[in-house]
Structures are given as structure tokens and as C-alpha cells.
Amino acid sequence: MGRNILKSSLENASFTIIFQILFRCITFILNAYIIRTVGQEVLGIMNVRLLLLESTILFLSKEPLLKACLTNTSARNWAQVINLIWLSVPLSGLINISFVYVWLNVLTPTDDKYLIQYKFGCYAVAFSCLVEQLTQVTVLLAQNFCFVKLKVVVDTIYVVSRTVIFVYFIEYDRDRPINAFSIAQIASSVVLSLSYYAFFYWYIRNLNKVRALEKKETRNSMFSDMGDFPLTSFWQLFPCVMPNKEKILDTKLCLLTVSFIKQSVVKQILTEGERYVMTISPVLTFSQQSMYDIVNNLGSLAARFIFRPIEESSYFYFTQMIKRDEPLGKQEKQRIAESAEVLSQLCKVVVTIGLLVVTFGQAYSYSFLYLYGGAKLVESHLPVVLLRFHSFAIVLLAVNGVTEGYVFATMNNRQLDRYNYLMVIFSVSFLLISYVFTYVFGPVGFILANSINMIARIAHSLNYITKQYQHVEYKPLNGLYPGYKFIVALIVSGLFTKLSEIFLLNKSIILHIGIGGIFFLLTITVWAFDNLQLLKLGYNKYKRKTSLKED
């Protein structure tokens, strides 16, 4: 836990990715368990309504103060910083009262059989958020002084404890699933808080011993390079305890916090826009909300585990290869040629993956959802329709990720500022279209609205790339056009797998999946023969990397 900030930042990013994968896997399995055990309506109440309440309270009460307090802490008075971060507790209390009232009295009520549990759930979420705010001073210290592993360990304990407690109480009493969720929320937040405070109690106590003894052998331990750690007593974690010769609060930090509050409100609306529209709109039942949430999470797996790593890696690559403030014609020709080829091949790869998802998603959405959630999940057929529509959105998601990643990597500051405003317009338009489309098309309206939003963003990116390359001979966007042989293979595969679904699925789901596997391999083989140059390039890169490691 040394103070190498760059190294700690990279470690934090790596651990966060690993933790997110773990969290998504646990959520994936837990949702399947909930569907099979207690049904879809309960999942909608918990995953959409109550978790949105938690997200809203935590983000608005935690994010602004934490960002402000993390700003240039080396030049701050730590007593004032600690006093300010503790304001998140009363702020959370005010936000709790406001939003719990809205959730109980303004939003569409639940069925009578869940009403008492739902009320308890709202109060439980609010209380758990308040408990979490008690840990913000320890989170601030952990982040500022690079306790990277601490955050990962505590967050993992928090997620696992919440899951285990929830499953235990569900098994104990399946008639009160929302109560199980509520108890798990409260208990895990207490575990989170106690874990952080227990660590810093132990750490401050041992750090004082090290300082008193001044042992040289501690040079490489977790207590090294901590001469600027401001606390000498566990009780200094609390407000107005640490010695302070100045005002109780730093005026500049308070003004900075107000600025972050404004940003946080906008960011929260844009981040959770779909859920807010879903929650406010009276058209969707809790069961429909849960179905959309399930399908959205399942459909987003490709984005999280395939497209996002490609997008992040390509963004870094293009930032190193292309200068932002210089026309391509004046830059090094070899770099531009290589960048154009890489962009073209990336477009080809993501379009290929997206078209495969569309083709096989039409015939295998039912089978996938049946295996995931059982007969309960597919009995209304709505999740199947949603997943089939979502497979089309994945193609747009794939193309948007690569093209927008390139745009962000090569735009100059003026263009980036302009595009940030454009993104706000896109996001607000998306919310409005979502609200209208929900009334017209039901849950499918969210997917259609999201698709329109991505088409607009893709159009902007394609226009930018076309203009950038108009004075050079390279055409990287040609990679968006798949080969005709591959298109024919997709059409044939889609036709035969759909026939298999109609005539064989009811007889044998294994046989149906087997036929899909055969046609999938045939389609991939056609694509491979059509793209031998790309495969050879990838193999040579891999071989070169392996030989360098061995050397």
C-alpha cells in the first residue's frame, strides 16, 4: 500500500474491473435464482424500484462531497476535510426523507400483497444508505492514501455478505422475498461500515507503534511512506475531534462541492435515465420492468466483456498513433496507414460479432432464456421478444463503441467540448423518446429509443471520420461492410436455425442447440476464409508477443 500514485491508480483500475466481473457474475446467478424462486414481479420491485432508490440516494449524497474532498488533499487542512465529508450523513438524511416520500406516495403503488414489504424495503434502503455514509471518511482516507487492496476486499465482503444473507432469508421464508432483500441491505451495510472502521482502528494503532519505534525494517511494509498520514488517533476519524486552528469548514471546498452537486444531478439522470422513465411511467408493470431489466443485463454481457475491452484498447492505441491538433495529411504517413488499417479491421470484427448475435439471437432467444430463468421467465413470451430486439441493438452498440472511441481519441479540445454538449442533447432526447415509445410500444420502446440514440451517435462519428480522411487515400470505414459470402452464410444459418426452432425445439432443445452449433461453426469458417489476412496478422502478432516473453 505504498504511495506510488500512478501504480496505485492502475492497480485500482485492474481490481475494479475484476470486482465488476465478479459482481456481474453474482448478480447474473442471483437473478436466475430469484426468477425461479419468487417470480418476476418481485424482481421488478427489487432490481428496478428499490435499487434505483439506493442508487439515487448514494450518488447524490456521496459523490459530490467525495470528489470535492479528494481534490488536492496534500494542500488541505485535514480537520476541515473530515468535517466536510461528514456532512454527507445529514445530507443523506435529507435526501432519504425526500425520496422515500416520493417512492411511497407519488410513484405507482405495488400490489396489496407486497405493499407492507415494499414500505419496509424503502425504509431499509434509506437506513442502509445512511449507514454507508458513515464510512465515507474511511473511504476518503483509503482512496487518498492508496489503500487499493482494502477497498477491493471490503467491497467483496459487502457483496458476498449481502448475497448470502438474502439467499438465506429467501430459503427461510419464500413468502416475504422483499423483506429478505431489505434485511440483506441493512446487514451488509453494517458489515461494510464495521470492516472499514475495524481496519483503520488496527492501522492507526500499529502506525503509531511504528512511528514511536522508528524501525528501519518497516521501510517496505504497509506503514512505509506514510509520514503525511494525518491521523494519530482512531477518534480523529469523527468530526471536530482533530485539532484545527482555522474555521470548521473550508469555504472553497464547500463551493466546489456545490459545483459537483450540480454535475452529479445531471450525471445521475443520464446514467439511470431508463430506470427513471420506467419507474415514473405507469404503462409498465413491475413484471414488465423486471423482464426488461433481465434482458438488458443479459444483452449487455457482450458489451461489458467483449466490446468494452476492444473499445478501451483501441482508444489507447489511437491516442498514441494520431495527433489531435494536426490534419492527417501532415502527420507521419506510416502511422496514418497503420491506424486506418487497424480501424478498418476493428470495424470488421465488431460488425461480425454483432451480426452473429442478430442471426442466432432470433432462433435461440427462447432457448437461452428458458435455460436461464426456467419456464416462469418465458411463459409470457415478452422476454423473448425483448431479447430478439436487443440483439439488433447490439450491432449498433458494437459499431458505436469502436467509432466513438476513435472519435474521442483523435478530437482536439474544441471538438471535444462541442461534442460534450451534443452528448447532453442526445441523452435528453433519448429520455423523451423513451417516455413516448414506452406508451406506444411498451418495454420494446426502450430498446427502440436506445437504438435511435446510438444511430445518431454513430452518424456523428462516421461523419467525423469521413471528413478526417477525405484528403488522404485511406478508407477505414470500408471495414463496416461485411463480405457477401459471410452475408450469405448468415442468411442460410438464420433460415435453418429458425426452421429448427419451429419444428425441433418442442421435441428436443439439445438437438436444436446442436444444429445451431453446427451452423455457427460453418458461418465462422466462411468468415475465416474470407478474412485470412486478418487472421494471419493476429497470429503473427500473438507469435511475436509469445517469443518476446520467452526471450
Average pLDDT over residues 158-168: 89
Q: What is the pLDDT, as a whole number, of residue 34?
A: 78
Domain boundaries, the chain: 5-270
What distance in Å separates the CA atoms of residue 341 and residue 537, rounded to the nearest whole number? 11
Q: What is the pLDDT, as a whole number, of residue 220?
A: 46
What distance in Å separates the CA atoms of residue 307 and residue 73, rounded to the nearest whole number? 36
Amino acid type, 192: L
Neighbouring residues of 279: CB distance < 8 A, sequence distance ≥ 6: 48, 49, 52, 107, 289
Contact 299, 393 (CB under 8 A): yes
Is it the case that residue 399 has pLDDT exceeding 70?
yes
Query: Any idea what DSSP says for residue 134?
Result: T
Helices in 214-285 by DSSP H: which ranges? 251-271, 273-280
Identify which of 337, 299, 352 has the alpha carbon closest to the alpha carbon of residue 524.
Answer: 352
Sort 268 into a burial class: Cβ within 10 Å, 0-12 / 13-18 / 19+.
middle
Q: Which backbone phi and psi does 481 adopt, to 5 degrees?
A: -95, 110
Report the alpha-carbon angle 39-41-43, nearest 5: 75
Length of the chain measured in residues: 551
Handedness of CA 407, 410, 411, 413 (dihedral sign): positive
Angle at which helices 444-468 and 273-280 cross, to 10° = 150
What distance in Å separates the CA atoms of residue 117 and residue 177, rounded to the nearest whole number? 8
Is it the case that residue 325 has pLDDT exceeding 90?
no
Report the alpha-carbon angle 269-274-280, nearest 5: 85
In the chain, pLDDT over 90 holds for what percent of residues?
24
Is it the case that residue 396 has pLDDT exceeding 70?
yes
Q: What is the pLDDT, as a whole number, of residue 524?
A: 92
Q: What is the pLDDT, as a whole number, of residue 516?
A: 94
Secondary element (H or E) of residue 495: helix 484-503
Compute and round to an integer the Cα radius of gyration of the chain: 26
Tens-place pLDDT, residues 131-154: 999 998 898 888 777 777 788 788
Identify which of 362, 164, 380 has the alpha carbon closest to the alpha carbon of residue 290.
Answer: 380
Tens-place pLDDT, residues 12-26: 555 665 666 677 777
What distance in Å separates the CA atoms of residue 286 and residue 38, rounded to the nearest whole number? 13
Report the alpha-carbon angle 103-107-110, nearest 5: 90
Contact 96, 129 (CB under 8 A): yes
Query: Any idea what DSSP says for residue 284?
Result: S
485511406: which residue's cell? 474
Tens-place pLDDT, residues 470-491: 888 888 888 888 888 999 999 9
Q: What is the pLDDT, as a whole number, of residue 2?
A: 41
Is it the case that residue 1 has pLDDT exceeding 50?
no
pLDDT tier, 523 (very low <50, low <70, confident <90, very high otherwise): very high
Average pLDDT over residues 530-543: 70
Cβ atoms within 10 Å of 267's Cβ, excluding its own: 15
75-89, 159-173, 201-215, 298-312: which has the minimum mean pLDDT? Answer: 298-312
Identify which of 496, 491, 492, 462 has the alpha carbon closest to the alpha carbon of residue 479.
Answer: 462
Is it the case that residue 494 has pLDDT exceeding 70?
yes
What distance in Å separates the CA atoms of residue 202 and residue 501, rounded to the nearest whole number? 61
Highest mean pLDDT among 307-316, 364-373, 376-385: 364-373
- pLDDT: which is higher, 296 or 115: 115
Angle at which helices 251-271 and 413-441 cross, to 10° = 50
Is it the case that residue 35 has pLDDT exceeding 70?
yes
Contact 213, 224 (CB under 8 A): no
CA distances to 328, 462, 474 from 316, rounded to whole Å, are: 18, 19, 21
pLDDT tier, 3 (very low <50, low <70, confident <90, very high otherwise): very low
Q: What is the pLDDT, as a whole number, of residue 337?
A: 87
How many Cα atoms are found within 13 Å in the side-chain-facing hemisphere of 361? 23
What distance in Å separates the CA atoms of residue 71 and residue 231, rounded to the nearest whole number? 19
CA distances to 338, 413, 543 from 546, rounded to whole Å, are: 22, 38, 5
What distance in Å separates the CA atoms of residue 45 and residue 52, rounded to the nearest whole number? 10
What distance in Å separates the CA atoms of residue 279 and residue 198, rounded to the nearest whole number? 38
Give pairs for 21-28: CB < 8 Å, separation 24+: 21/305, 22/156, 22/159, 23/159, 24/301, 24/304, 26/159, 26/160, 26/163, 27/297, 28/297, 28/301
